[in-house]
């Protein structure tokens, strides 16, 4: 499937938002093989939790920054999702006062844009701590990890039912490991989630590097193919072919990708057709990722447009600022707003992961055209 533009589909149940990804801590109580370690991996228990005063300052910066972008949005797009994650964010020793501070500091902006507070968590925490946290979260995104212990899986199920019983919104991302036994385990979890009427989304694993790869066999490819067809609404089945190598394995992320949040996508401005799984190679395309994402790495203070692409305003891969010099980034953004010169990012990555749903186009004039529907003119 080839196309020249891509945008989120129009879906009142899955609004286009500005995602503030706040990586609060690198510490985690799991050690999954598909989660990289180290400062730029998914977790690192050798890195200390960030101090509470620093976290409170970050909340101030994030809200001031996103408020500037909200001034550019049409009325129906003034939605901000703050995703507090890690590592495992719920194991931060000050998570409750941090979440309380989020609510308090948001009051200043509540008449201008809507905030949805989420956490991406493995939900393996004590019942006592979970019950403290539930009233402070609007929606839980829980991830099911097939590599954890039987006891942890039991606690996971118990906590999901507690969240549901407390009438908190919850969705579960099921990580589909290609190991046959673990793939079956994930499928069993999908059946359990369905039986308890818990919203869920299966997700492929991407290669971490040349040595840590997750290839799916031909039967698993058929499973994914059926899933993507079932979630796609269009006249023709046109998603990218899921190619199998000579060993019967498939790197799904080389074939394409579904949106992390399960959002359907429109290509070539065809808003009557909605795709679920699309090609994900956009090298040199023009992208609006900075209009819809911000990623804060709390432990070292780096600020990025997005947690996966990390494209900056100079056409490079790297941070757009640091928390120590956050005023510089705020001044830069405010000046560009005043002059109507917010930067457009031209992608240099070989694959798009998180950020797939940000409107983008292969050429700048078309990009400028499609962005008119998302911004005040």
Query: Contact 260/356 with Cβ under 8 angstroms?
Result: yes
Residues in CB range of 210: below 8 A, 6 or more apart: none
pLDDT of residue 228: 80
Count other Cβ atoms within 10 Å, centred on residue 218.
12
Going by DSSP bridges, is the β-strand pair 286-287/345-346 parallel, antiparallel, or unpaired?
Answer: antiparallel
Q: Exposure pattern of 365-375 as b/e (b: 16+ CB <10 Å)?
A: ebbeebbeebe
Category of 186 on φ-ψ map: left (φ > 0), alpha (ψ -120 to 50) or beta: alpha
| Residue written as token pair 């990218």 | 240
Q: How far apart are CA 149 and CA 170, in angstroms?
A: 22
Mean pLDDT of all residues in the chain?
A: 92
What are the residue boundaries of the structural domains of the chain, listed by start? 15-209+284-354
Please report the pLDDT score of residue 66 as a whole number.
98
Closest to 9 in 3D by CA, of 261, 224, 228? 261
pLDDT of residue 273: 81
Q: What is the pLDDT of residue 235?
A: 42
CATH code reported for the domain at 15-209+284-354: 3.20.20
Is pLDDT above 80 for 275?
yes
Q: Does residue 340 have a pLDDT over 90? A: no
pLDDT of residue 241 exceeding 90, the answer is no
Residue 152 has pLDDT above 80, yes or no: yes
**Tens-digit pLDDT profile for residues 112-145:** 999 999 999 999 999 999 999 999 999 999 999 9
Full-model pTM: 0.92
Q: How many CB atoms within 10 Å of residue 175? A: 20
Query: Count of CB atoms within 10 A of residue 93's CB?
Result: 11
What is the rounded average pLDDT of the residues 160-188?
Answer: 96
Q: 244 pLDDT exceeds 70?
A: no
Cβ neighbors of 192 (< 8 A, separation 6 or more) are 157
């Amino acid at each position: 499937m080839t196309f020249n533009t891509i945008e989120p589909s129009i879906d009142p149940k899955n609004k286009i938002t500005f995602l503030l990804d706040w990586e609060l801590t690198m510490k985690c109580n799991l050690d999954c093989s598909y989660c990289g370690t180290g400062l730029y991996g998914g977790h690192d228990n050798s890195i200390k939790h960030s101090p509470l005063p620093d976290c409170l300052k970050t909340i101030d910066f994030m809200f001031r920054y996103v408020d500037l972008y909200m001034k550019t949005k049409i009325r129906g797009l003034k939605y901000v999702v703050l995703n507090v994650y890690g590592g495992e964010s719920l194991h931060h020793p000050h998570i409750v006062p941090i979440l309380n501070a989020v609510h308090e500091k948001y009051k200043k902006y509540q008449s201008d844009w809507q905030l949805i507070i989420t956490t991406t968590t493995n939900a393996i925490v004590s019942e006592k701590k979970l019950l403290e946290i539930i009233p402070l979260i609007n929606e839980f995104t829980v991830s099911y990890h097939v590599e954890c212990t039987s006891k942890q899986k039991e606690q996971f199920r118990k906590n999901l039912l507690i969240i549901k019983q407390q009438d908190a919104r919850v969705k579960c991302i099921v990580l589909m490991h290609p190991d046959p036994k673990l793939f079956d385990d994930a499928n069993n979890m999908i059946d359990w989630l369905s039986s308890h009427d818990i919203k869920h989304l299966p997700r492929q694993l991407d290669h971490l590097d040349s040595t840590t790869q997750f290839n799916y066999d031909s039967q698993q490819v058929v499973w994914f193919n059926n899933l993507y067809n079932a979630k796609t609404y269009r006249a023709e089945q046109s998603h990218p072919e899921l190619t199998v190598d000579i060993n019967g394995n498939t790197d799904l992320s080389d074939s394409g990708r579904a949106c992390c949040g399960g959002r359907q996508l429109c290509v070539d401005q065809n808003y009557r057709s909605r795709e679920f799984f699309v090609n994900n190679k956009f090298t040199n395309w023009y992208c609006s990722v900075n209009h819809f994402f911000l990623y804060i790495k709390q432990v070292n203070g780096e600020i990025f447009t997005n947690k996966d692409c990390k494209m900056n305003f100079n056409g490079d891969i790297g941070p757009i600022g640091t928390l120590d010099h956050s005023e510089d980034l705020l001044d830069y953004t405010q000046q560009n707003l005043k002059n109507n010169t917010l930067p457009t990012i031209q992608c240099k990555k070989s694959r798009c992961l998180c950020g797939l749903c940000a409107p983008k186009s292969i050429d700048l004039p078309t990009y400028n055209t499609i962005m008119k529907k998302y911004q005040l003119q």
